[in-house]
Amino acid sequence: MIAPMGTIQDLAETLGANNCLTAAEDVAPYAVDWRGTYRGVPRAVLRPGSVAEVQAAVRACAAEGLAIVPAGGRTGLCGGAIVAENGPPAVVMSLERLNRIRAVDARDFSLVAEAGCVIQSVQDAAASVDRLFPLSWGAQGSAMVGGALSTNAGGIRTLRWGNARDLVLGLEVVLPDGRVLNDLRRVRKDNSGYALRHLFLGGEGTLGVITAAALRLVPALKRVETAFVAVPSPEAALSLFSRMMESGAEVIAFELMIRRCLEIVELMGNGLRSPLPIDSPWYVMVEIAAAHPAVPLRDMLEDTLAAAMEAGEVTDAALATNEAQRATFWRIREDWPDCHRRHGPAVGADTSVPVSAVPEFCARVAAAFAQGWPEGDFIALGHAGDGNIHVSLNAPPGMSREAWRERARDAEAAVNAIAVDLGGSFSAEHGSAMRWRRTRTRWRWT
């Protein structure tokens, strides 16, 4: 069915021509995902500026059977914000103009943000009242509240404060018939019925358009210590993880990376350098923190690393001595996706396994890759503290993206099967949109 142009014209009148984009050059940025993997041209890009406009647009699209794909910062890695290439006629609804922080309450440890607020701006609003919004990852300068909640995003601090879902107290959602579900309460305890918000958290826009959320804050961190550590194996990394958890400090990040990641970051990272010599098979970035400045975090970190070194679990370590150094450590981790993308074609996965199964998972994936695709390069990096390891298979030099995608077509399925066999998941934090099926329809009425 072709979307009647009358509908688009009506939407342009409702939202204003500037907020109902149809020109090819205006629509183009919304027609491809961050990695350039998924493409699909929407009939229009709608940019409502209020909840009432979201309602009006949803009703108009519903009346014409026009599918709606909500979009936030478009940093999603599963193609969820891109219309299906051969799917039904669809529009993208970008929430970028709904970007107000409606309320911040330090005593309540909560904040109400609209769906189009960039995650970084939520963190800044929390910091302005001496609080922390703990959701954090490399794309936080672009990803938005609606997208983060709809993918149930994780990131580097999941091991301490959970995924996005764990940080939501209430939601405001426009439903497919245009009604608003107003569950924007900040109450902590509420057993008065089903917690409906959980249908939308991780729902990837399939059940409604999130327009605002009441979010949980935690005390601001007053001390942070960060170390970059060389370890001989994932087993050793796991032993170090246990030690850190038992050290008395709050472990807020524990990232594992294989040596090849550092080589690629040095190659592609515009001068970015590893804090340690690249001669160890694996590395870990660990961060501990405290909400009170008197907590002797440095001692805790040094003592724990010294004990781990004695036990052979750690072979070398660099401790950040100031904020600039800490930021440099983190740039290695956070610039990784971009360095990896620019380095060459790869197929990847977003798997999780129980934390104790991380070493076996890495070993089994490495073996499967070596057997099935010996010419490829095995990469493993991720949030080892919560069991979410992103493995990928890099193409040999010179191979085109299309050729490698064809050659390594079954690699992701092989990784997913290993994760599931170990009691894990094929989608730890990115969502499942295009992982479930390549062609996807959404919000269709007939």
Ligand X SMILES: Cc1cc2nc3c(=O)[nH]c(=O)nc-3n(C[C@H](O)[C@H](O)[C@H](O)COP(=O)(O)OP(=O)(O)OC[C@H]3O[C@@H](n4cnc5c(N)ncnc54)[C@H](O)[C@@H]3O)c2cc1C
Contacting residues toward ligand X, per CB under 6 A: 34, 69-77, 80-81, 95, 115, 137-139, 143-144, 146-148, 150-151, 153-155, 204-205, 209-210, 337, 429-431, 433
Tokens of 123: 């963190």
**CA dist., res. 55 & res. 68, Å (int):** 12
Q: How far is the CB of 175 from ligand X (least distance, A)?
A: 11
Of the two residues 148 and 290, which places its CB atom closer to ligand X in the complex? 148
CA neighbor of 140 nearest in space, from 127, 176, 286, 41: 127
CB of 121 to ligand X, least distance (A): 12
**How far apart are the C-alpha atoms of 173 and 70, rounded to whole Å?**
12
Min dist CB 310 to ligand X, Å, is: 33
Q: Which is nearer to ligand X, 11 or 54 (CB)?
A: 54
Cβ-based nearer residue to ligand X, 165 or 186: 165
Write the CB contacts of 73 (distance below 8 Å, at least 6 apart in sequence).
118, 139, 142, 143, 144, 147
CB of 297 to ligand X, least distance (A): 24
Which strands sit side by side in the sheet containing 20-21, from one edge to the other? 20-21, 45-46, 90-94, 67-71
Q: How far is the CB of 202 from ligand X (least distance, A)?
A: 9
* Closest distance to ligand X from the beta carbon of 215 (Å): 14
CA distance 197 to 190: 12
User: CB-wise, 147 or 313, nearer to ligand X?
Assistant: 147
Bridge partners for 349 per DSSP: none
3-state secondary structure of 106: coil
Looking up tokens 């440890």, which residue turns up? 109
Q: Name the residue nearer to ligand X (CB basis): 55 or 75.
A: 75
Q: Which is nearer to ligand X, 136 or 304 (CB)?
A: 136
- Measured from the CB atom, is 98 or 290 closer to ligand X? 98
Give me the least distance between CB of 143 and ligand X, in Å please: 4
Q: Check if the beta carbon of residue 424 is closer than 8 Å to that of residue 351.
A: yes
Residue written as token pair 């010179």: 398
Q: How far is the CB of 338 from ligand X (least distance, A)?
A: 6
Cα–chain center distance at 106: 26
Residue nearest to ligand X (CB): 147
Question: Quick check: 131 and 405 in contact, CB under 8 A?
Answer: no
Q: State which residue, 29 or 354, has the beta carbon closest to ligand X.
A: 29
CA distance 161 to 180: 29
**Which phi-psi region, left, alpha or beta, contains residue 335 (left: φ > 0; alpha: ψ -120 to 50)?**
alpha
